[in-house]
Amino acid sequence: MAENVTAQRQTPGAIGAYVKNVRDTAKSFWEGMSVTLSYMFRKPITTQYPDRVPVPVRDTIPPRYRGFLEVDMDICTACQACERACPIQVINIDILKGDGKTTPKLRMERFDIDIGKCMYCGLCVEPCPTGAIQHTREFEGAVMHFNNLTLRFVPDPLVPAVPYKPPKGADAFPRKPLGEITRALIAAWDAPPPPFPTKEQLDGDKGAAHGKPKPAGLDPTAMGRQLAAKALQVKEDKPALQKVLEEAMAGTDCGDCGYPDCKGYSTALAYGKDTSTEKCAPGGADTKAMLETILVSLKTGKVPEAPAAEAPAPAEAKAPGAAPAGDAEPSGPPLAKTLPKDELFKHVLDAMAGTDCGDCEYPDCEGYAKGIVYEGQADLDRCAPGGEDTRAKLFKIMLGTKPPPK
């Protein structure tokens, strides 16, 4: 009997199939519509990002999330390991060198991270000796102005950051709570970019001399010092200061700096509305160096000395008579031959950048110096933060020669 019923169900007649189809249709409507209607009367489960969430979304994502980068300048050693590690040159650090006595040996005028370019690979975080650079959990990168996407961890280049000296053997460093610094920076994201000079400022002296194209072969460092001296004289007279600043520029009025012309940019610099020195693309490194010289001497109140022995500039470019005594020691045996090892060690250590970055594959600067003096390390090319400067010094001390060109 049961078999019979099953057989009938499996092979229904034409009418049975017809009726079954109608019944199935009605049933699927009934079931389906009851399900969808029941969902209509429930609470939607989606979260209404960004302003109707119970906690900020960044607090709900995992702690090791790679969001915007953050640098705690208080524990940054200026080793530039992060800048070198970055595969796409997102990090820009400008180092201001001092003599190590009246001014610190290294200072950071600029520590910019272009969040718009960053690919969040985390390679910069790995080599940092103190953990100063870290990924935060910030991720909301919508800004009103594209330029604001650059995080400037040294807010004012005229107040350069002094590197941190980690205590010997320390393995923990007093870092600010992660995220605070970046959050403070991105809070200013929707602020307008540096304003254009007003019409009055522009119309004030229309016929004023524009910056002239610089003659080829001009020594930018010497000119920078000249201009700086001029600028110091007219420090309070902003229009005159503007003209001095404009002289340092390429004078092409290309508008690449974001201002209408050279005058606009130099006016913004003179009035302190802009502090960035690298916006003049046609002027390039020369203009940047000159502008920096001027701005720094305005800040410090004195024209910087002509480059001493540590300057990478070739000797013939130096202003005549500006070279202090003891600069030229081209001949004579190297210090390595004359001094005892302990004295030599001090000289070698002094030549290094002193950031303990570890890039030389020694734990710190002391290690590398010991390696050179006591262990016969012949590679004098390892101090990356010190750069050409340290390299020249090391070659002079150890071999008495100029370093080979790179």
Give the footprint of other proteins on this chain (CB under 8 A): 18, 21-22, 29-30, 32-46, 48
CB of 23 to other proteins, least distance (A): 12
Nearer to other proteins, 35 or 281 (CB): 35
User: b/e map of 120-133 (b: 16 or more CB within 10 Å)?
Assistant: eeeebbebbbbebb
Minimum distance from CB of 125 to other proteins (Å)?
A: 37
Q: How many CA atoms lie within 13 A of 285 on its CB side?
A: 3
User: Closest separation between CB of residue 44 and other proteins, Å?
Assistant: 5
Q: What is the arrangement of strands in the sheet containing 150-152, beginning at the earlier edge strand?
A: 91-97, 106-114, 150-152
Distance, CA of 115 to chain centre: 10
The single-letter DSSP state of residue 51 is T
For 357, the token pair is 């970055």
Distance CA 44, CA 48 (A): 10
Beta bridge partners of 134: 70
Nearest approach in angstroms of CB 103 to other proteins is 55
Q: What does each C-alpha distance from 67 to 119, 136, 184, 239, 332 come to in angstroms?
A: 10, 5, 15, 43, 55
Q: Where are the alpha helices (DSSP H) in 70-169?
A: 81-85
Between 50 and 155, CB nearer to other proteins: 50
Give least dist CB 41 to other proteins, A: 5
Using the minimum distance from each CB to other proteins, give the nearer residue, 11 or 48. Answer: 48
Nearer to other proteins, 45 or 55 (CB): 45
For other proteins, which is the closer residue by CB, 4 or 34?
34
**Where would I find the beta strands (DSSP E) of 136-259?**
150-152
Q: How far is the CB of 16 from other proteins (least distance, A)?
A: 15
- Closer to other proteins by CB, 49 or 146: give it: 49
Contacts of 245 (CB under 8 A, 6+ apart): 231, 266, 269, 270, 291, 294
